[in-house]
Amino acid sequence: MSDTVIQVENLSKKYVIAHQEQGSNYKTFREAMTNAVKFVASSLNPSKKKEANLNREEFWALKDVSFEIKQGDRIGIIGRNGAGKSTLLKILSRITEPTEGSIRINGRVASLLEVGTGFHPELTGRENIFLNGAILGMSKVEIQRKFDEIVAFSEVEKFLDTPVKRYSSGMYVRLAFAVAAHLEPEILIVDEVLAVGDVAFQKKCLGKMENVGKEGRTIIFVSHNMAAIRALCSRALMMQKGQLLMDSDIETAITTYLADERSSDAHIIWDRKNAPQSSELRFLEAYILNEQGDYASTIDCRKGFSIAVKYEVLKPINGLRIGFFMQNSEGIPICGSNDPVAWPKLVRTPGEYTSQCFFPGYVLNAGRYSICFGSDMPPYDKSLATTPYCLGLSIEDVEGHGPMNERLPGVVRPKLDWNIKQIAYR
């Protein structure tokens, strides 16, 4: 009997994107009805189809992807936003169907993808546990055997009989992960959704996933956190523009991913439609500036630099907090910082803003770093909007250390004051 649990061959997924003609963003009800009639007429008249499709564009989210996963494999899927990772997971989870190609899965699949999927919002947490177990093909007795363990892990016992539509995003993810990991699926699929939880719970989830892998079950994990990928996975699939760019060991894939020239960009602009955003706030730009005020992704370790993000406040926010987080090329957290909550007034009214943080020289050691941004508001237990790791920074040490001018050890590279005294005479 083959130990292959997932076989993917020439998998492709196409979406059709409709574009409005320039200057037609606002239509009257009459125009909308007229256009609807024209569309129906064109679908009945082949000669008119070409005209009707002038503003429709084909987009291949996945194209000719093939790979094989064995039982017990722990696979990390990496790639930048838009690489096709989430589309691939939705197909593997049977949420959406492929346009072309085939996929064969041998085993029960439990998925934790976007917050809001997998649970029925009107049902309580207790009812959703049993519903998900039934979907996985488990008997009521099997679910009851795991029930207490699921509740204890999720830490939502107090709200177990509350409809999940009233859960915070953090509570939702806690329970959803607990259900997905404890109901004994042969294949566990987890997306970046774990980032919604707090740091302690993320570590708890990673520990549980590691235990699941040691039990011989298969794990597929998508994350921008290279430290988590490295700790959990033994193999990586690297996606780029809908294609499988690399299928290799973890170290080779991470090195290739982080060395991608695009990660060294010092300036990114998001279009308003696809920008990281919430109903309260939208990120617009992010950039790194050197001491001269120019965009720069390579900085002399002796020199200072600035990290900045431009964003649009869509409605008044009391106590808004904008911050960044930095990790090094190994996925190790370096530091983070938030702008002053009370700048210079507590409420930020609608409009565009820039939050900028200055780094002095002699702080970071030579190496490569990635930066992402986030935002939250009181009581600071829920993110408004977050960006992926969107900026890349290279620090160069021109002074070096020792006779071979080697790199100083460690993460930081401070220039510290020393005091030398001669305390004895000969």
Task: Please state the domain extents for the chain.
Answer: 60-260, 263-396
Strands 187-190 and 109-112, by their bridges, are parallel
Quick one: DSSP state of residue 197? S
Q: How many CA within 13 A on the CB side of residue 242?
A: 13
Q: Quick: pLDDT tens for 151-173.
A: 998 888 899 999 988 888 778 88
Q: Quick: pLDDT tens for 342-365.
A: 888 899 999 999 999 999 999 999
Comparing CA positions, the residue from 198, 248, 191, 195 lying closest to residue 222 is 191
Of the listed ranges 86-90, 199-203, 330-334, the least confidently predicted one is 199-203
Token digits of residue 424: 């004895």
pLDDT at 267: 92
CATH topology of domain 263-396: Coagulation Factor XIII; Chain A, domain 1 (2.70.50)
CA 368 remoteness from chain centre: 20
State the average pLDDT over residues 303-312: 96
| Radius of gyration of the CA atoms of the chain, in A | 25
- Helix, strand and coil content of the chain, in percent to the nearest 5, comes to 30, 35, 40
pLDDT at 34: 58
Does residue 348 contact residue 376 with C-beta atoms inside 8 Å? no
- Band of pLDDT at residue 325, cut at 50, 70 and 90: very high
pLDDT at 263: 45
- Does the pLDDT value for residue 373 go beyond 70? yes
State the average pLDDT over residues 121-139: 85
Comparing CA positions, the residue from 1, 109, 5, 2 lying closest to residue 67 is 5
Peptide bond into 403 cis (omega under 30): no
State the average pLDDT over residues 247-271: 77
Does residue 226 contact residue 254 with C-beta atoms inside 8 Å? yes
Strands 298-300 and 391-396, by their bridges, are parallel
| DSSP H or E stretch at residue 87 | helix 85-92
CATH number at 60-260: 3.40.50.300
pLDDT at 363: 93
**Burial (CB count within 10 angstroms: exposed 0-12, middle 13-18, buried 19+), residue 323:** middle
Does residue 119 contact residue 164 with C-beta atoms inside 8 Å? yes
State the average pLDDT over residues 99-109: 90
Quick one: DSSP state of residue 95? S
Backbone angles phi, psi at 404, to 5 degrees: -100, 10
pLDDT at 170: 78
- Band of pLDDT at residue 318, cut at 50, 70 and 90: very high
Counts for the chain of helices (H) and strands (E), in that order: 9, 21
* Average confidence score pLDDT of the chain: 83
Q: Quick: pLDDT tens for 19-77.
A: 555 554 545 555 555 565 555 555 556 555 444 445 677 889 999 999 999 999 999 99
Angle between helix 140-154 and 125-135 (nearest 10): 130
Buried b (16+ CB within 10 A) or exposed e, 276-288: bbeebbbbbbbbb
- Band of pLDDT at residue 279, cut at 50, 70 and 90: very high
pTM above 0.85, yes or no: no
pLDDT at 56: 73
Comparing CA positions, the residue from 212, 149, 208, 221 lying closest to residue 185 is 212
Cα–Cα dist 1/417, whole Å = 67
